[in-house]
Amino acid sequence: MRPDEEESAMQKRTLGKSSLEVSALGLGCMGLSFGYGPPVDTQTGIDLIRAAVEHGITFFDTAEVYGPFTNEELVGEALAPFRGQVVIATKFGFKISDGKQAGLDSRPERIRQVAEASLKRLKIDAIDLFYQHRVDPDVPIEDVAGAVRELIAEGKVRHFGLSEAGAQTIRRAHAVQPVTALQSEYSLFWREPETEILPTLEELGIGFVPFSPLGKGFLTGKIDETTKFESGDFRNIVPRFSEENRKANLVVVDLLGRIAGRKSATAAQVALAWLLAQKPWIVPIPGTTKRHRLEENIGAVTVDLTADEIQDINDAVSKMSLQGARYPEHLLKLVGR
C-alpha cells in the first residue's frame, strides 16, 4: 500500500505493560494554541482535532500550561462528542501567574487543584493519563507519585505519566505508583533517549510517547536556513534552529528525502516510520495546525521500513554531527532530572 492511501483502520499500540491502548500515532495539540506563533481560531482547531478522530487517532495530548488553559478548553470542546472513544493526556507541574507560566510547582495540593480544573476544562470525569510536566526538585518524586495514586484511587485519574524525567526519577516514581508512560523528545533529530531512557522503560514496562517526533518541523524538509519563523514561535530561541545550525543540520533531511523517494513517501513519513519501528510501545505525537499535514503524518503508519533500511538510517545518522542544543540554557535545566 502506498503511504498516501488511507488505511481502513489505524493501528493500535499499548503503552508498556499498562492496559492503556491508543492509536499508533497520537496528536500533540499544543501548537494549536501555543508555542508556534499565533493560536489558530477555535473552529479551525476543533475541525483539525475531529478530523484526527475520523482518521482513527484516539490519543490526544494537551496541558494546562498551553495557553495557559486555552488548549485544554479547545481539546475538551472538540472531543466532547467522542467521550469514551478517545484517550486524553494532560499535565501538571507549573505555577501559573497572571496568565503566564511562572516556575515549577508539583506540591500534592497543587496537583489536586490542577486535576480538578483540568477535568472541568476537558469536560471529562477522569483524566486518562496525567503527566508531571517537568520534575520539580523541591518536591520528592515519591510525594508526586503518591498524590497521583490518590487521584487514581478516587477515580479522577486513570494513569500516571512523567515528562522529560531522568532514569533514577522514573524508577523512584514507578516504585510508588506504576508509571504508564514517559513523554520526552525523541526523533532522528534528537536520539539521546536511546542511551539510558529506552532501556529503563523497557525494563520497567513503561510506554514511551515522543513529542517533537519531526524535530519541531525540521524533519519535514520544509525548513531550511532561509526560513523565517513568526514572532512568538518558540523556535526563534532554540539554538538548534539558528540559521547556521539549520544549514549544517540539513544533512539529516537530505538522507530522509533520499529514502522517501525510494519508498514513494515523504521525509516526515519516513521519520515517523523510523520511530514507530524502534519499539512496539512507542507512540509518537506529532502536532500540526494543517489538515493535509495531519493526513500526511497518519500515512506514516503504512510505511514499512526493512531492518536493513533502519540500519542504514541509524548508521548514517550516527556519523552526522547535528549542531545546536535542543533548548535554550534556561529550559535545558528542566530536563533529564
The count of other CB atoms within 10 Å of the CB of residue 289 is 18
Active site residue: 66, 131, 186, 327, which one?
66
DSSP states along 191-234: -GGGTTHHHHHHHHT-EEEEESTTTTTGGGT---TT--PPTTBG
Please name the residue that has the C-alpha cell 529506552: 198
Under 8 Å between Cβ of 284 and 209:
yes
The set of residues, in sequence order, having a beta carbon less than 8 Å from that of 247 and lying 6+ positions away, is: 224, 225
217 in the Ramachandran plot: left (φ > 0), alpha (ψ -120 to 50) or beta?
A: left
Task: Write the single-letter amino acid at 297.
Answer: N
In the residue annotation, 66 being an active-site residue is answered as yes
> Could you list the active site residues?
66
